[in-house]
Amino acid sequence: MPSYLGAIGTANPVHRIAQPQIADFMARALAFGDNDARKLRALYRVSGIEHRYSVLPDYGQANGDYTFFPNTPDLEPFPSVGQRMAVYRREALPLATEAVRDCLRQVPDVAPASITHLVTVSCTGMYAPGLDIELVKALGLRPDVRRTCVNFMGCYAAVNAVKLADAFCLADANARVLIVSVELCTIHFQKSPEEDHLISNALFGDGAAACLVQAEPLPNGAPSLALQAFHCGLEPDGHDDMAWHINDFGFEMTLSSYVPKLIQRGIGRLTADLLSNLPVQLADIRHFAIHPGGRKILETIETELGLTHEDNRHAYRVLRDYGNMSSATVLYVLRDILANASPADHGAPVLSFAFGPGLTIEAMLLQLTVSNEQLAIDRSEEANEPEGVLIEAALAVK
């Protein structure tokens, strides 16, 4: 029997900053001349991102109004790892707690004391006693809840968390696993004109996501995702093209422009391997939850797998509204799929990908489950629709 993922909650910091404002901050911070600043703003315009969220207001402030970075022309002395981790420790718990509460509001029959396992995910900060223990206290979880931390794996880490949750549920039918991913990417801004840093500074934002995994569909009839299969691919040639290192002035992301080509080379084989022992073909899949690592990555996958922009619409929307939030991002995409599920989607397969250092490509096959209770509610609502509305809907379909 499969395990089921559902009730995905999300949370973002209060600072919602437009992409052009962030570009202006970066141009000032890097002391770019007019020509380089024009190129930088062009990079931000074609990113597919309109807004990102940050725990730091500085990216939307005029020079001299910063609260974290020094109010000096060159931002010196540049914040240390210790200063950045202090921000992480202050901001991660409230954001993670908000995401969990958003998750649990969707399942009022699930009490925090019924959670048997807690899996926390992050690659942007660490401390001990850590976020997992603080969440136990903040949420009123049982002190004997089984805690696992998935740290520093990058954007694909949420898939590994889901794998863990699936294993827990397969081993114990009474397991109820809470996954919490929180990423504060923007605290690791690097003041460097290197291409890798320019690209990563243009993409990453802050956010948190939480979801439940258990051995049966959600108790309130909400749509769930049955976990069908997992597969991991590794492109060793990309070892140096996507990496994540702790240095003196924060965590440094290496993200070269060659990454889409590496994904292009491996995505077809990975998909074939995932589906090889399953009664599902790529042509059968109409729902896709692809980690929006960047616009070029999404377009590359579309070309290789024969997808349309519409097939990828959930990923594009998340990229547009939030940017790349590392491990939390794919859960935002899955949340959109669940939020838009209809009775017609019952039993439909969902193909999901996420990418990270290595170069690692993780894949999941899931299946939408809309319970009989939810089907009955939806059909009842359809029956109560005014006749004119139904006629208009029928004409729209034609």
Residue with the two structure tokens 């969440």: 135
* Structure token digits, residue 44: 């931000």
d(CA 219, CA 209): 20
Q: Is the pLDDT of residue 139 over 70?
A: yes
d(CA 200, CA 171): 39
Share of the chain above pLDDT 70, in %: 89
Nearest to 281 by CA among 309, 256, 302, 306: 306
What's the pLDDT tens digit per position in 343-364?
899 999 999 989 877 778 888 9
Average pLDDT value for residue range 155-162 = 95
Query: For the ranges 2-11, 142-151, 300-309, which has the lowest average pLDDT?
Result: 300-309
Residues 381, 393 contacting (CB under 8 angstroms) = no
Q: Is the pLDDT of residue 79 over 70?
A: yes
Q: For every residue of 331-397, which 3-state class applies, written as one string? A: HHHHHHHHHCCCHHHCCCEEEEEEEECCCEEEEEEEEEECCHHHHHHHHHHHHCCCHHHHHHHHHHH
* Region label for 396, one of left (φ > 0), alpha (ψ between -120 and 50) or beta (otherwise): alpha
Nearest to 104 by CA among 144, 132, 141: 141
pLDDT greater at residue 97 or residue 301: 97
Q: pLDDT-derived band of residue 389, with 50, 70 and 90 as boundaries?
A: very low
What pLDDT is stored for residue 161 in this prediction? 97
**For 224-373, CATH number?**
3.40.47.10
d(CA 333, CA 317): 8
Residue 381 CB partners (closer than 8 Å, separation 6+): none
Q: Is the pLDDT of residue 116 over 90?
A: yes
d(CA 110, CA 224): 15
Residues 253, 376 contacting (CB under 8 angstroms) = no
Contacts 24+ apart (CB under 8 A), 235-243: 235/262, 235/263, 235/265, 235/266, 235/358, 235/359, 235/360, 235/361, 236/358, 237/262, 237/359, 238/262, 238/358, 238/359, 239/358, 239/359, 241/359, 242/154, 242/355, 242/356, 242/357, 242/358, 242/359, 243/357
Residues 293, 355 contacting (CB under 8 angstroms) = yes
pLDDT greater at residue 354 or residue 376: 354
What pLDDT is stored for residue 377 in this prediction? 45
What pLDDT is stored for residue 241 in this prediction? 55
Average pLDDT value for residue range 306-321 = 96
Query: For the ranges 43-57, 302-316, 363-377, which has the lowest average pLDDT?
Result: 363-377
d(CA 178, CA 5): 10
What's the pLDDT tens digit per position in 16-26?
999 999 999 99
Q: Which amino acid is at 242?
A: M
Q: Give the architecture-level CATH label for domain 4-214.
A: 3-Layer(aba) Sandwich (3.40)
Q: In which element (H, E) is residue 281 found?
A: none
What pLDDT is stored for residue 242 in this prediction? 58
Q: Is the pLDDT of residue 375 over 70?
A: no
- Decide: helix, strand or coil at residue 139: helix
Residues 137, 160 contacting (CB under 8 angstroms) = no
What pLDDT is stored for residue 243 in this prediction? 57
In order of 51, 66, 203, 234, 327, the CA distances from 207 in angstroms are: 13, 21, 13, 27, 9
What pLDDT is stored for residue 149 in this prediction? 97
Domain with CATH 3.40.47.10 in the chain: 4-214, 224-373
What distance separates the 2 farthest-apart alpha carbons in the chain? 68
- Decide: helix, strand or coil at residue 25: helix
Q: pLDDT-derived band of residue 192, with 50, 70 and 90 as boundaries?
A: confident
d(CA 119, CA 140): 15
Active site residues: 155
